[in-house]
Amino acid sequence: MSRDSTKHEVRQRVLARLHRMEEEQRSRDSATLRAELQPELAGSGPLNIGIYIPLPHEVNLLPLLQEHPQHRYAVPRCLKGRQMEFRHISNPSTDTRPGAMGIPEPCTHLSIIPPEELDIIIVPGVAFTEQGNRLGYGGGYYDRYLPRCTNAKLIATAFAEQMVPELPTEAHDLRIPHIIHL
């Protein structure tokens, strides 16, 4: 069996578990994970924080904008060549439009936050291990972008359904040093 088919199988298995979660449980678990992020968001001043607009099955981090308004938040925008950039948002409902694959992205008139200016990036993923291995959606956007974020602390939040004992990895797969999970 090839490494790609193994990754595909893990993705399918974990995504099936995520899709079976009840909305109430997903909402409650998202709130718990945001609360567990609190120590990372406390600090001496405002931080530039990269988050993501969640798909329906993902941890919802958007309430952080209201819960911690002292920080500046940015979300990714997909570019050609499987590249991305982060743009500042204040209000997800007015600052985003449907983008690549129907995933909301920040509007192009919003300011870009350079990768070296991001203090924290909360990285999405399909599956994670306790050791920090991450399985994304297969596009490699974050694997290409994160090495440019020389000052950012990388964090992931994960539902219990996303945690697996091991993942197939390749040289370009980046580890996430801090995973907050249930």
Q: What burial letters (b/e) apply to 20-54, b meaning 16+ CB within 10 Å? A: ebeeeebeebbeebbeebeebbeeeeebbbbbbbb
Domains detected in the chain:
3-181 (3.40.50.10420)
pLDDT at 68: 95
How far apart (Å, rounded) are the C-alpha atoms in residues 131 and 55?
A: 25
| Contact call for residues 115 and 150 (beta carbons, < 8 A) | yes
165 pLDDT exceeds 60?
yes
Identify the residue whose tokens are 């997903």.
26
pLDDT digits (tens, 9 = 90+) for 112-131: 999 999 999 999 999 999 99
Mean pLDDT of 148-166: 97
Residues 6 or more apart from 119 whose CB is under 8 A from it?
47, 48, 49, 151, 152, 153
| In the chain, % of residues over pLDDT 70 | 97
pLDDT in tens, 16-50: 999 999 999 999 999 999 999 999 998 778 999 99
pLDDT of residue 4: 56
Structure pTM?
0.93
Contact 88, 113 (CB under 8 A): yes
